[in-house]
């Protein structure tokens, strides 16, 4: 059983199902600190063990009849979730940024953290993160790696253009990821350390372009025979190609896990959550809570739509007068995310006329 508690536009889910035993795991790459409580809160076992599946199963073996296992969402949770699923043990993942009881203590170590996780489960105050299905994890991680390389290549291109501004040279226009332009761009800068720095950036861009091209080829080949039901809907948005659509599909998994569009936008980091006290605004927060990869995907979709659609350019120009350029682009990305939510919910393709008329 899961309870969803609403805080304005944000939703926090707690695990409420009652069990006879509660297992809190402080998870690390090579070791675990495991604490098992009974329903009255009495500590039954509390020990550090190696991060080995058989050792873990042996440790919790006497209590498996009615046990729930909880762990904080860190980078190495996949194997523990899969192990529990294979052995019929309920597993819940804790949202790292909501587990203040762990991070805010006066004293903090692995032993204390594992006990706190178990008590959060027992007290129905364990904040849930989404346990992503194992069948799509590898493809999602590969798409995320591709996005990292794309972002790193963009940083190299931006540095070249900034270097031209730094030395008051003519602007370096056009795309810098085209091999035919690299010699021309290099000659744009004077001899010496400046040109050497630019050539280092160009060499990095060349290598990353090859890596990105190979990853895109592999992704398209690997997904050619998979029928993603949402893929054709997402590709109906102008500028959204196969790889970007796959990125959005894998980051969302299923749109049904978001009951309201506000929750989807919050998860996509496209809304700012206000902080208020005694009727006074204290700014905004929660910028790191949500899916950074989904925000990047919708921001890229906004740039692609703006590049080719005059209606999008007029919309952003109108928003820019009121909000400024950066916020205008964020509003466009949020509108695309809103459209995607209802497209996937209603099984309808992108309606361009409705989008720009809204």
pLDDT tens-digit map of 298-334:
999 999 999 889 999 999 999 999 999 889 999 999 9
H helical segments located in 73-136: 78-86, 100-103, 110-122
**239, HSE (Cβ side, Cα atoms, 13 Å):** 16
* pLDDT over threshold 70, residue 241: yes
CA–CA–CA angle 125, 131, 134 (5° rounding) = 160
pLDDT attached to residue 222: 84
pLDDT confidence bin for 12, thresholds 50/70/90:
low
> What is the DSSP code string of 247-262?
HHHHHHS-GGG-SSHH
Identify whether the C-beta of residue 34 lies closer than 8 Å to the C-beta of residue 45: yes
Question: pLDDT per residue over 129-157, tens digit each?
Answer: 999 999 889 999 999 999 999 999 999 99
With cut-offs at 50, 70 and 90, classify the pLDDT of residue 1. low
Mean pLDDT (the chain, rounded): 89
C-alpha–C-alpha distance, residues 350 and 344, integer Å: 10
Q: How far is CA 77 from CA 25, 90, 248, 301, in A?
A: 10, 14, 22, 31
Angle at 119 between CA 117 and CA 123, to 5 degrees: 120
In the chain, where does DSSP find H-type helix? 53-60, 78-86, 100-103, 110-122, 137-166, 182-187, 193-222, 231-234, 242-252, 261-267, 292-308, 310-323, 325-346, 352-357
pLDDT digits (tens, 9 = 90+) for 171-192: 887 778 777 777 888 888 888 8
174-177 contacts: CB < 8 A, separation 24 or more? 176/202, 176/205, 177/153, 177/205, 177/209
What CATH class is the domain 2-131?
A: alpha beta
Contact 270, 295 (CB under 8 A): yes
Question: Distance between CA 58 and CA 99 in Å, rounded?
Answer: 28
User: What is the predicted pLDDT for the residue at 271?
Assistant: 87
pLDDT of residue 227: 65
Token pair of 238 as six digits: 């102008």
Q: What is the pLDDT of residue 200?
A: 94
Average pLDDT rounded to a whole number, residues 95-116: 84
Structure tokens at 132: 């992503």
Can you give the pTM of this predicted structure? Answer: 0.85
Q: Report residue 8's pLDDT band, with 50, 70 and 90 as the boundaries.
A: very low
pLDDT at 162 > cutoff 50: yes
The sign one gets for the Cα dihedral 82, 83, 89, 93 is negative
**Candidate from 3-7, 229-233, 254-258 with smallest mean pLDDT:** 3-7
Asked if residue 274 has pLDDT above 80, the reply is no
The residues near 116 (Cβ < 8 Å, ≥ 6 apart) are 24, 101, 102, 105
CA angle 316, 319, 323 (to 5 degrees): 130
State yes or no: pLDDT of 158 exceeds 60: yes
Distance, C-alpha 297 to centroid of its chain: 10
* Closest to 15 in 3D by CA, of 129, 112, 111: 129
């Amino acid at each position: 059983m899961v309870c969803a508690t609403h805080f304005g536009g944000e939703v926090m889910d707690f695990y409420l199902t009652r069990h006879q035993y509660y297992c809190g795991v402080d998870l690390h790459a090579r070791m675990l600190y495991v604490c098992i409580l009974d329903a009255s809160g009495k500590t039954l076992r509390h020990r550090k063990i190696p991060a080995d599946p058989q050792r873990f199963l042996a440790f919790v073996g006497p209590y498996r009849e009615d046990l729930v296992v909880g762990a904080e969402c860190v980078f190495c949770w996949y194997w523990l979730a899969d192990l529990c699923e294979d052995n019929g043990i309920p597993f819940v993942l804790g949202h790292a940024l909501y587990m203040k009881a762990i991070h805010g203590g006066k004293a903090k170590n692995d032993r204390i953290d594992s006990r706190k996780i178990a008590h959060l489960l027992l007290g129905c105050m364990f904040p849930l993160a989404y346990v992503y299905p194992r069948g799509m994890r590898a493809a999602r991680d590969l798409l995320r790696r591709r996005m990292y390389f794309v972002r790193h290549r963009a940083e190299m291109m931006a540095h070249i253009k900034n270097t031209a501004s730094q030395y008051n040279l003519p602007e370096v226009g056009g795309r810098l990821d085209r091999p035919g332009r690299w010699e021309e761009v290099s000659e744009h800068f004077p001899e010496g350390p400046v040109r050497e720095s630019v050539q280092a950036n160009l060499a990095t861009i060349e290598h990353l372009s090859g890596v990105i091209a190979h990853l895109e080829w592999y992704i398209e080949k690997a997904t050619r025979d998979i029928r993603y039901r949402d893929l054709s809907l997402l590709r109906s948005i102008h500028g959204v190609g196969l790889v970007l659509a796959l990125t959005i599909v894998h980051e969302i998994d299923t749109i049904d896990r978001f009951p309201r569009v506000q929750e989807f936008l919050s998860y996509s980091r496209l809304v700012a959550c206000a902080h208020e006290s005694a009727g006074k605004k204290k700014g905004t927060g929660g910028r790191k809570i949500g899916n950074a990869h989904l925000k990047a995907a919708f921001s890229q979709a906004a740039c692609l739509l703006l590049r080719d659609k005059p209606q999008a350019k007029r919309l952003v120009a109108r928003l820019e007068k009121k909000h400024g350029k950066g916020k205008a682009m964020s509003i466009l990305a949020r509108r695309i995310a809103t459209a995607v939510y209802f497209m996937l919910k209603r099984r309808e393709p992108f309606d361009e006329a409705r989008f720009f008329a809204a």
